[in-house]
Chain A
Amino acid sequence: MGQNRRLFKIQDGVIVVAACATVFACFQAIYPSLVSNFFRQRWTGVRLVHWLIDISDSAHVLSGCLMCVSFAVVLLRFVQPRPSLRRITAQPGFVACFAASIMGGVVILFVAARKVGRLLGGWNLNTSFWELTTPALSSLDSLGRMIVGVWIMLRLMRRPKPESDWVERIGQVVGVLWIVQWLLARGIQVVSMMSNRSLFDDGTY
């Protein structure tokens, strides 16, 4: 609806800035090593394959970033003035971000439970935060496929009613990026299979 078009307000700005800050934190956590590895080496074909396998971590970083933005879009969508719940649930962009938020919420709970379990178990294994989160984030690799599934089901119900709202637009872009992330993660798996190595090997260069 034209007259109900959502304007960008200060509270929206706060939510967007918070999401961006979390995204930068995700990049900061893992990218420095990847970038330095890229410039430090003399490149051969095998090394390129190994570096691509390393980038699988960056696919996980991408999923971490997308998760932050997805949470932000869901939050922005619920801020007033907003369309009715019935209309919101017919918007593909919101639905994609909502799906990502639910799955991400469960994964975060899972990571927290593991961390607490390890602390209570008293295991002195020097496990870093990223060591725990990477397997959890890799379980998010199939989220893009799930979004495809949700969009197909919306389509079959003849319900998708996208609005020309900026929040919805961002949601749609995030949904597409989730699908790209899924394809990227799967592509990296294929590359690692071609090089006949498992992603879990810690190979030396």
Chain B
Amino acid sequence: MSNITPRDRTLPMLGAVLLAVIVLGPLLPKWALFLLTIAIAKGMVSLGLMLQLRAGLVSFGQALYYCIGGYTAGSLGRFFDISDMLLQMICGASAAAFVALILGFLLARYRGIFYGLLSMALSMILYGLLAKSESLGSTDGINILPSTIFGIRPVQEWVRYVVLVTGCSVAALAAALVQRYLKTPLGQLSPAIKDNEIRVEYMGASARKAIHVKYVIAAALSGIGGALAATAVGHIDPDMAYWTTSGEFIFITILAGTRSVAAPFLGAILFETIRTVAFDISPNTWQMTLGISLLLVIVFLPEGLWSLFSRRKAA
């Protein structure tokens, strides 16, 4: 069941992609830089979902941690005047991981649809709380400070590029760490848990503990994604925690497939591209365009987008 091939070329590939972004970034149109940044942010959340999916668990409330990451980044700017992207992402990840550590004691007991729905309920409670906080702009949300890095505020012309490269570097690092985690004994339990949890327990491993760890890692990744989205967009609002946001992340994850840690990012880029093209060519019926495209991907690429690559490799 494990999808990690013995001759693993993930790490060199991540490095090469990162290098490509750094080199080719200045040649891309400005709007594409932004679109890619958002895709990277969503890909981070999706990577977290993928971790859970490998153990057979789907969270319908991953937006909870995306939102916590976003609001942590926003609050740093609003209350402490901190606009450093890296700091925002670190704090976003820590805040999300901390909350997940506590909620994980509850959630690690759940499986199947109930895991999904309980996480959704928790996410919607956060939505309700934020929609009630008028000091944080209620549903209109608040704007956050322009991004800086190491105390430097990039000039206007380059700020999108800097945000993208920063985001990509963090994402590549995170993906590499996740890849390493997947190779640890704890990480390799995932397919086993999905397959048959009782056998896992008989082997002497704790499925609950393994899930708890995954849940915290996934939350940290989502927190980074939320902070990155917040600093890129410059705005946060409670919609970040709404269930439709979680739905989008699940969609990206399924589009991508679970075969590689790079898949979620590719899935997110594809999703954002389909969405923006649909907005463009059919402003009145973009939902239909989006729905049909996604249906086609699910039907014709049942293993996710990544199967396009690995299938050829096999051949």
Is this pair of chains taken from one and the same complex? Answer: no
Seen from chain A, the residues whose Cβ lies within 8 Å of a Cβ on chain B are none
